Amino acid sequence: MSSSTKSQNKYSILLPTYNEVENLPIIIWLIVKCMEKSGYGYEIIIIDDGSPDGTLEAGEQLQKIYGSSKIVLRPREKKLGLGTAYIHGIKHATGNFIIIMDADLSHHPKYIPEFIQQQEIHNYDIVTGTRYLGNGGVHGWDFKRKLISRGANFLTQLLLRPGVSDLTGSFRLYKKDVLQTLIQSCISKGYVFQMEMIVRARQCHFTIGEVPIAFVDRVYGESKLGGSEIVQFATGLLYLFVTT
Ligand SMILES: Nc1nc2c(ncn2[C@@H]2O[C@H](COP(=O)(O)OP(=O)(O)O[C@H]3O[C@H](CO)[C@@H](O)[C@H](O)[C@@H]3O)[C@@H](O)[C@H]2O)c(=O)[nH]1
């Protein structure tokens, strides 16, 4: 890709955080290294939901190190859920492409240039990381967690047939206008948001590319996926099955 094309696009990387004080400096460092090396224009938007562990304060320190044009802080006062954190971040994004990823080091930023290249080659509306194709995989999850993820994907494939191998993954690149369109029709607030976005994208005939990724379980902190999120997923899936 020529450097002139590289300079035309800007990628807004959204990092939702809740209690990620140990992970934040590492993920930011890795994103900055990967993006600077690749030469694409970018900003990183941190959406912290009032983490009691000092994540926002860590973000403020990082903003001093890397600059406020690279690190943008858009905090909210309390934990309002992953889906609405993305929506909040998008409102403040200045890029024409949006990348969403976890802040807990499960998603390596080395894949971002690969997502961008795939998007540029095929002009995809969405590129999504998949753990369930080719070299993709999950590292570090116990049997129960693998079963939840596989089960959620299997049920969604069975009921909605969206034709994408990993529906619950949250490492994705979107054209910004596509994402804005999808958000208007999306009703989910929590983790089920990822699945609903793909289902809605298929309804709108947006094109979706998949890039295999290695998902690595977090070392620091804890997953926020609880029983209520699983119930929300099941309810959301049923709702989409009945209404679409
Ligand atoms: N701002 C904000 N951030 C949140 C919230 N809940 C979670 N996060 C952030 O969202 C990211 C993922 O949260 P985790 O709780 O660590 O996710 P996980 O259990 O590892 O789940 C992963 O796998 C799921 C299934 O495969 C995915 O659905 C999920 O999005 C994520 O990638 C982390 O950066 C975490 O801090 C929230 O309510 N608000």
Tens-digit pLDDT profile for residues 119-137: 999 999 999 999 999 999 9
Farthest CA pair distance, the chain: 50
Q: Which ligand 1 atom sits closest to the C-alpha of 17? A: 36
Q: What is the mean pLDDT of residues 168-179?
A: 96
Show Cβ contacts of residue 86 under 8 Å, excluding neighbours closer than 6 positions. Answer: 14, 16, 47, 100, 193
Give the range among 23-32, 118-127, 175-184, 188-197 with minimum mean pLDDT: 188-197
Q: What is the pLDDT of residue 223?
A: 87
221 close to ligand 1 (CB < 6 Angstrom)? no
79 lines ligand 1 (CB under 6 A): yes
Residue of 74, 150, 165, 224 to test ligand 1 pocket, by largest number of atoms within 8 Å of CB = 224
Write down the pLDDT at residue 7: 64
pTM score: 0.93
User: Is the pLDDT at 1 greater than 60, yes or no?
Assistant: no
Rg (CA), the chain: 17
Has residue 33 got a pLDDT over 80?
yes
Q: How far is the CA of 2 from the centre of ligand 1 (A)?
A: 35
* pLDDT band, very low/low/confident/very high, at 42 (cuts 50, 70, 90): very high
Question: 136 and 79 in contact (C-beta within 8 Å)?
Answer: no
For 200, other C-beta atoms within 10 Å of its C-beta total: 21
Instruction: Kindly report the protein residue whose alpha carbon is nearest to atom 17 of ligand 1.
Output: 223
Lowest-confidence range among 8-12, 92-96, 219-223? 219-223
Pick the more confident residue, 96 or 84: 96
Residue whose CA is closest, atom 32 of ligand 1?
170
Domains in the chain: ranges and CATH: 10-243 (3.90.550.10)
Mean pLDDT of 29-43: 97
Q: Of all atoms in ligand 1, which is nearest to the CA of residue 224?
A: 15
**Ligand 1 binding pocket includes 106 (Cβ within 6 Å):** yes
Write out the two tokens for 71.
């690190």
Q: Which of 16, 52, 20 is nearest to 218 (CA)?
A: 20
Over residues 135-148, mean pLDDT: 92
Please, is 181 exposed, middle or buried when counting C-beta atoms within 10 Å of its C-beta (0-12, 13-18, 19+)? middle
Indicate if the pLDDT at residue 73 is higher than 90: yes
Mean pLDDT of the chain: 92
Cα distances (angstroms) measured from residue 38 to each of 13, 113, 124, 234 = 14, 7, 20, 39
**In the prediction, which pLDDT does 204 show?**
93
pLDDT for 11: 98
53 φ/ψ sector (left φ>0, alpha ψ -120 to 50, else beta): alpha
